[in-house]
Structure 1
Amino acid sequence: MGTAFPMLLVLSLLLYPNGISKSLAARPPVVNIGSILQLNSTTGGVAAIAINAALEDINSDPTVLNGTTLKVETKDTNCFDGFLGMVQALQFMETDVIAIVGPQCSTIAHIISYVANELRVPLMSFASDATLSSIQFPFFVRTAPSDLYQMAAVAAVVDYNHWKIVTAIYIDDDFGRNGIAALDDALTAKRCKISYKIGFPANAKKSELINLLVSVSYMESRVIILHTGAEPGLKLFSMANRLNMMGNGYVWIATDWLSAYLDANSSVPAETISGMQGVLTLRPHIPSSEMKGNLISKWSRQSQKYNHSDLRVNTYGFYVYDSVWAVARALDAFFDDGGSISFSNDSRLRDGAGGTLHLEAMSIFDKGKKLLDKIRKVNFTGPSGKVQFDASGDLIHPAYEIINVIGNGMRTIGFWSNYSGLLSTVPPEALYSKSPNTSLANQQLYDVIWPGQTAQRPRGWVFPSNAKELKIGIPNRFSFREFVTKDNVTGSMKGYCIDVFTQALALLPYPVTYKFVPFGSGTENPHYDKLIQMVESNELDGAVGDIAVTMKRTVIADFTQPFIETGLVILAPVKRHITTSWAFLQPFTLEMWCVTGLFFLVVGVVVWVLEHRINDEFRGSPRQQMITIFWFSFSTLFLRKYHEHLRARCVTHMAICCFDHSIQLYRESYFHPDRATT
């Protein structure tokens, strides 16, 4: 008796460490959770099976909830009819539940998040809308990756393939618009952009979808991002195939709706799969594990039990399964911490008009904030991988698989993870133990089979068939018409600059339509600054001609590398066809001849004044003196120095005299040896 009591006390402390009364009294026999799904959709059907599978495993596990049974109340809503879906969801909120799994639709999730905040009911939603955040909606808990990460992965694929512009097709609701907004931001970070956005309603007619695709085919970009649901997305693929938009040159990237559909449906029509060959899609990455394999193996039994034998588990099934487990583990910790389930009415919720919504029936979960804190602190590993939330309320380590639809199935060509932000052929979980390497040189994907059954990467764009002609301004010059001028006979533009322009266009691998717009009257040279201003103001798309690159002009317009460079030159007029031998006299004008004659006279008079008194050659008759004056004037002008001339004459005269005298002596010594002298 003395030893039995201490043993019972120790055993009770081990079984109920928080106290017997607290552990047993605070745990009710049944706790209800809710789910808001569209059961006739692929995602909704998979989510319903996953919820029931998780409840079976939780309620059969004695280590969880310690005897408390967890039950679910499901509300079938219409995602495509936003108003009806919101009314159905609001009616469901009259039920006293401690947490809600769903909704799957972004439109309904936005409305229910406001209600969940008011009623303090945690919302375990797998809606991927990036604008749903725990900052605005504290009771919103996202249990699947956000579109922020998915669009970052799409942008990484676009940048990896060196495409700069894309076309975005989306369903025109909160899910589509907010997803494309996230894509736009992600592409901008990669210096890419969406050149054309086009949305369509969920109930769009066939003719509207055909017109949509035709307008897309007229665009420049051939990289098309498709962010829709399964039903409208498959319709678009079928119509695009009929319009020959699934062939060479096109690139189709579908968000994770396509992989979710192909993973969940065991029998996809052959016509459907053949019409999307070469398409790229994304799938949230779930690492391989024993728990994942166990859920897959027992899924067929669960799907048959709930009359969905045609549905297989996809990524959303794994996330929903772990969402229920997260609620169960948080609820267990909630009970261990002394939490209790109680609801109270909100005096502000009164339907005074007597409507059918019965707002007064909505109750506030008194300890909802405490349960929410326990949910955000869960840390366990489930079939979807590590279940743990970061400071912003998102699951840690979001990652995606890049998938190529080929043949009768899908092939993984690589992975993208937020851990490194890069594309890789290595599974992300192998990188988490290493420091993140963000070098773009490490990016790699396996080869892709593109639409048209080609392994060659598409260029991603073509010149649009409905594009306007480029207006090219051409200076209509009066002078130097060899550079550029207008042919008055044909009206076309010709010249050296025109030839360079047309030859440059011929090197482009695509056609460019353009027209020349003459600038100027042709009777005088136009002012080029005004031509540049017309390009800057978009009156012209460009200008071609002998346009000098100046500092003032480079401020408002971009110039090509100059293909004519003169350097430092001197311009002088030139007369052609000069055939006369007296052409060298042409620079000598009448004035120049008069000045030259005057110099002759002045120089001659000066020389005569200096020489006639001492030089006999400057004497004689007036005629002889005039001849001497003009002769010395001429010699003075055309020789360097007058004295050099005289010296040269003297030396030459002496040399000639000496030479003549030597010849005379030689002759006498040869013919008269007796007269020879030394």
Structure 2
Amino acid sequence: MLLNCIWYLARLRSKGYITCDPTVLDLMKNEQVHAIIGPQKSSQAKFVTELGGKVEVPIVSFSATSPTLSATQSKYFVRTAQDDSSQVKAIASIVQAYGWREIVPIFEDTEYGNGLVPFLLEAFQEIDTRVPYGSRIPLYFNDTQIMRELNKLKAMQKSIFLVHMSSSLGSRLFLLAKDAGMMSEGYAWLVTAGLSTLLDPLRSEVMDSMLGVLGIKPHIPTSKRLETFKSRWSKNFTISKPQSKINELNLFGLWAYDTVWALAMAVEKAGIVHSRYVKPNTSESTVDFAALGKSETGPRLLSSILSTKFQGLSGDFHLAGGERVPAAFEVLNLIGKAERVLGYWTPESGLSRNLHSRGKIAYSTSKNRLKEPIWPGDTTQQPKSLRIGVPRRTGFHEFIKVEWNPEGDKPIVSGFTRDVFVSVIEALPFPLPYEFIPFVNKNKESAGTYNELLDQIKLKNFDAVVGDITITADRSTYVDFTLPFSESGITMVVLTKRYERENMWIFLKPLSPELWLTTGIAFIFTGLVVWVLEHRENKVFRGKPAQQLGTTLWFSFSTLFFAHREKVVNNWTRFVLIIWIFVVLIISQSYTASLASILTVKRLQPTFVDVKEIRKNGYFIGHQKNSFVKDFLVKRLNFSDTVLREYSTPEEYHDALSNGIYNDGVAAIFAEIPYIKRFLAKYCSKFQMVGPTYKTDGFGFAFPLGSPLVPYISRAILNVTEDKDKMEEIERRNFGGEATCLDQAAMLTSGGLGISSFGGLFIITGVASMSALLIYVTKFLYIHWPASNTMDRERSFYSRVLELAKHFDKADPSAHHLNRAESRVHPVPSAEIVGASPHIDDARGHSRTSSEGSGDITGDQAHDNHTPQSSAANPEPPHTQ
């Protein structure tokens, strides 16, 4: 084989690096090499690759893994190692499996370190994992500078890290991280393949500092050939260097061995025996690129290398696009000097515990596909990526309650909001580890208000807050809220007073004063309309003015109670009465039902219903302790601080309201609706929720501004709250089956039926009465208006009205019932009326005395019939003027 620069595998060191003392230019100029294995570092590969392309010499590298190098830049660059970008999807799957929604990459500031960062950012963006900060560490940093960077990350409250750097810099980093206390419980570290494949040469103290670190590296399948080579390697190394410590062969050493074999096979396959450069170099300068010429066998050798396939020590050797085809990755867990394989990742099935599983397996990123790791701090507890702050309440424990386990002194959190949060976490499409941390002081009492609790998110002491936290506009300026998971709103609860049924005027209560007045006016108006329509035709509505007034009012008001014996004769009167009796029926029935309800149903009446009344009189009011309601009362409702009092428990609510405004109590307590409902469920019979409801957005979970978790949590909240059975089970578990108050509106005393309830009826009867009256009056005026001759036209309007009134006051001669009544009376001479005992025959032919007959003649008849004399032989009909 004509390879002018081949580093034999027996001379490889345990690190797997192959070095070449002569420079590349010297090899090309003086040796006219036809293939170069190397260079070792990605930063050197750019220059060598460019040079190889000019002279058409294949540059074969087994260690330059930076994604910035590729065959697309120079077709003469061949990478027999796996590109670093091939591990990105495997890293993203691990991050997704453990539910890390935020991670900080720590990488060295070199071509090797910087080249992978764009690919990592893109992969994390696809799984919605946030990268809030990237820590770049140059090679020249000393330990003090590295420690300063680690302390900066620690102060930022970051706990999940991805390390991508060489073994020399990585070993220093983990030693210093242990000194900084960042290799303890609560932290998680993940290293890329570049560091995972070079763990064997690291010192024992470095390996001890990396306890619990996760890593990935390309999988090397076991084979008989590999075991035989390891045995031969160990034997030869012992003979050549008996004083040296034997290290395991790492992946780069195996890749180097396979690269040499691939080149040897490619040379034999291409049939290269002797070759030279087409334009030999004649210049003495080592930098005269143009004078180097081109290898006449380079294109043929490159083609042969790219088509070479065989089963090497590191697995299947196969190139695609000038690079090694990536295979499976091992997921490692470092435990001291040992590497524990947790599982594998393949492009086809994702994470799996066993690499060679039978049957087709769906792609998965579940951590259940991996073995349980040991985490930093020598614990099996997964690092808590979310520190959840919870409030410490002294009342309304149904919503959130914090207790302490007497054995382990660990907090036990329960309550409605906690159960909702747990259900939401279970509904997420990824695992999200969390830890509840009570917001308490040294005495385990509340450390402040809810606003101060939310401030801890801004101060980065908590990653989120869970509890009965109301979403408000002010709070949303420094935290992000999820969608609300409960109703809310601010209203007031007041003491109730019993409605006294022993009141002597209780019969007036069914109707409001306005309705009483309107009904009375309607009665009078209807009576007057009936009198106008019946006066000229019906004798019942004639007589002295006082008698007519009494008859009119009696007729109208008595329609409430019974049907009249008095008959009406005018059809328009009948029309008016049909409408009116219908109205009276509805009003009387409504009155009866309302009065019965007042006398039989227990009613409660709120002591206050108007916020303005409470504020005007300066009464004390209460509110929830440590709640935003205090600011709401001062800023929105304009209450003075001096009248506000704080309460925490339902019992305190009860005592303050029961004492009232004159016994060191309060007129009302303002709180959010969920609290008031729980309070009323316990004290339903004495208090009422009244007044307007001031809208708020309900309870929500709080996260830092811009948190990527908020949309996921919000969608999960919708899934949970829309599940009626699950929400009912959570409410039943926390609130129990307590009886709640009936509809508060049904218990309020409205002050009786109002006029608005019967407005339509009054309009109908009013229109009917006015229509009948107008038609009747129009007809009367048309007949009797005195304007028939010149004398009438000369009279004044007033005199005409008087004459018209006289006509109206007289009986209508066309009324048939009046004519029948008058025909029963036989007129006699006036002298006989004065005389003694003249006989008068009644309509039935009986004989009566004049005194008896006179009793049948009404005053109206005596007034209307002017018959001075009559003759039995020639009777004359009575004359009506």
User: Which TM-score band applies after superposition, normalised by the shorter structure?
Assistant: 0.5 to 0.7
Shift of 1:212: 1.2
Which of 436, 440, 454 aligns to 1:509? It is 436
2:487 counterpart residue number: 563
- Structure 2 residue aligned with 1:180: 117
Q: Does 1:132 align with 2:98?
A: no
- For residues 608 and 417 of structure 1, do their structure 2 counterparts lie closer, same or farther at Cα, with a shift above 3 Å needed? closer
- Structure 1 residues 250 and 502: alpha-carbon distance in aligned structure 2, compared to 1, 3 A threshold: closer
Q: Which amino acid in 2 is paired with 1:404?
A: N
Aligned-pair distance for 1:282?
A: 1.8
Change (3 A) 1:643 1:279: farther
**8 A contact 2:375–2:381 mirrored in 1:** yes
Report deviation, 1:603: 2.4
Q: Is the 8 A contact 2:39 2:45 kept in 1?
A: yes
Shift of 1:251: 0.8
**Which residue is equivalent to 1:623?**
546
Structure 1 residue 311, shift from structure 2 partner: 3.8
Deviation (angstroms), 1:164: 2.0
Partner in structure 2 of residue 455 of structure 1? 380
Distance 1:434 1:371 in 2: 41
**1:414 match: secondary structure:** strand
Q: 1:309 to 1:503 in 2, by over 3 A?
A: closer
Asked whether 1:425 is paired with 2:343, we answer no
Map residues 76-475 of structure 1 onto 2, 5 A cutoff. 76=21, 93-94=28-29, 95-126=31-62, 127-219=64-156, 221-263=158-200, 265=201, 269-304=203-238, 309-335=245-271, 340-345=274-279, 357=287, 359=289, 362-390=292-320, 392-418=321-347, 420-427=348-355, 430=356, 437-438=362-363, 444-462=369-387
Structure 1 residue 154, shift from structure 2 partner: 1.2
- Contact 1:279–1:450 (Cα < 8 Å) also in 2: yes
CA 442–161 in structure 1, closer or farther in 2 if over 3 Å, else same: closer
Residue of structure 2 equivalent to 1:53: none
TM-score w.r.t. length of structure 1: 0.63
8 Å contact from structure 2 (residues 218, 328) kept in 1 = yes
Aligned to 2:581: none
Q: Is 1:47 matched up with 2:47?
A: no
Q: CA RMSD in A?
A: 4.3
Whether the 8 Å contact between 2:342 and 2:371 is mirrored in structure 1 is: yes
Q: CA deviation at 1:606?
A: 3.3
**Whole-angstrom distance in 1 between the partners of 2:212 and 2:524:** 101
Aligned residue for 2:4, secondary structure, equals strand
For residues 123 and 6 of structure 2, the distance between their equivalents in structure 1, rounded to whole angstroms, comes to: 35
Deviation at 1:152, TM superposition (A): 1.8
For residues 279 and 643 of structure 1, what CA distance do their matches in structure 2 show?
Answer: 107
Q: Deviations over 1:85-126 (max 9, x none)?
A: xxx555555442221222221111122111111121211212
Query: Distance in 2 between the 1:645 and 1:320 partners?
Result: 127
Structure 2 residue runs of 5 or longer lacking an equivalent are 390-415, 423-433, 440-452, 459-471, 491-495, 569-576, 578-881
Gaps of 5+ in 1: 1-26, 49-73, 78-87, 465-499, 518-530, 545-557, 567-574, 648-678
Counting aligned pairs with the same residue, the percent is 28
Amino acid at match of 2:295: F
Secondary structure of the corresponding residue to residue 563 of structure 1 = coil
- What do residues 212-231 of structure 1 show as CA deviations (whole Å, max 9, x unaligned)? 11122234542211001111
Contact 1:220 1:461 (8 Å CA) reproduced: no
Alignment of 1:31 onto 2:21: no
1:305 Cα shift? 6.4
**Match for residue 14 of structure 1?**
none
Equivalent-residue separation in structure 2 for 1:271 and 1:240 (angstroms):
13
Is the 8 Å Cα contact of residues 248 and 458 (structure 1) preserved in structure 2?
yes
In the TM superposition, residue 364 of structure 1 has moved relative to its aligned partner by: 2.8
Judged with a 3 Å threshold, the aligned counterparts in structure 2 of structure 1 residues 600 and 323 are, in CA distance, closer, same or farther, namely: same
Residues 443 and 100 of structure 1, relative CA distance in 2, 3 Å threshold: farther
Q: Which amino acid aligns with 2:344?
A: F
For residues 584-610 of structure 1, the C-alpha deviation after alignment (integer angstroms, 9 at most, x for no partner) is 499535xx7776555444322333355
- Whichever of the two has the greater Rg, that structure is 2
What pairs with 1:559-598 in structure 2 (closer than 5 Å)? 559-561=483-485, 563-564=487-488, 584=509, 587-589=512-514, 598=521
When residues 503 and 643 of structure 1 are mapped into structure 2, their CA distance, relative to the original with a 3 A threshold, is: farther
Q: Deviations over 1:9-30 (max 9, x none)?
A: xxxxxxxxxxxxxxxxxx7xx5
Give the counterpart letter for 2:48 in structure 1.
I
Instruction: Find the aligned partners of 1:242 and 1:101 in 2 and give their Cα distance.
Output: 40
Q: Deviations over 1:457-488 (max 9, x none)?
A: 22335589xxxxxxxxxxxxxxxxxxxxxxxx
Q: 1:609 to 1:90 in 2, by over 3 A?
A: same
Alpha-carbon distance between aligned partners in 1 of 2:206 and 2:366, rounded to the nearest angstrom: 37
* Counterparts of 1:271 and 1:645, CA distance in 2: 121
- Local SS of the residue matching 2:73: coil
Aligned residue type for 1:75 = C
What one-letter code is carried by the residue in structure 2 that aligns with 1:402?
V
8 Å Cα contact 1:96/1:363 also seen in 2: no
Moved more, 607-616 or 399-408: 607-616
CA distance in 2, matches of 1:456, 1:417: 26
Shift of 1:269: 4.1
From the superposition, tell whether residues 344 and 543 of structure 1 become closer, same or farther in structure 2 (CA, over 3 Å): closer
CA contact (8 A) 2:190 2:213 kept: yes
Conservation of the 8 A alpha-carbon contact between 2:216 and 2:332: yes
Aligned residue pairs, count? 491
CA distance 1:304–1:121, change in 2 (3 Å): farther
Specify whether residues 42 and 634 from structure 1 end up closer, same or farther in structure 2 by C-alpha distance, changes over 3 A only.
Answer: farther
C-alpha displacement at 1:157, in angstroms? 1.0
Instruction: State the alpha-carbon separation in 1 of the partners of residues 537 and 343 from structure 2.
Output: 114
Alignment partners' CA distance in 1, 2:535 and 2:152: 107
Tell me, what secondary structure is at the counterpart of 2:3? strand
Contact 2:333–2:373 under 8 Å retained in 1: yes
Instruction: Name the SS of the counterpart of 2:199 in structure 1.
Output: helix
Residue 417 of structure 1: how far off its partner (Å) = 2.3
Q: Post-superposition shift, 1:210?
A: 0.8
Q: Deviations over 1:407-438 (max 9, x none)?
A: 431111111223x15112223xx36x976743
Letter in 1 for 2:554: W
Q: TM-score, normalised by structure 2?
A: 0.49
Give deviations 1:307-332, integer Å, cap 9, x for gaps.
56444311111110000000000001
Tell me how far apart the structure 2 counterparts of residues 504 and 622 of structure 1 sit (CA, whole Å). 81
Superimposed CA distance per residue, residues 614-656 of structure 1 (whole angstroms, 9 cap, x where no aligned partner):
76654554333322221212124x4697689999xxxxxxxxx
Q: 1:31 is aligned with what amino acid?
A: L
The answer to whether the 8 A contact 1:36-1:100 is kept is no
Contact 2:86 2:326 in 1 (8 A): no
Indicate conservation of the 8 Å contact 1:35/1:102, yes or no: no
SS of equivalent residue, structure 1 residue 509: strand
Whether 1:634 aligns to 2:557 is: yes
**Letter of the aligned partner of 2:354 in structure 1?**
V
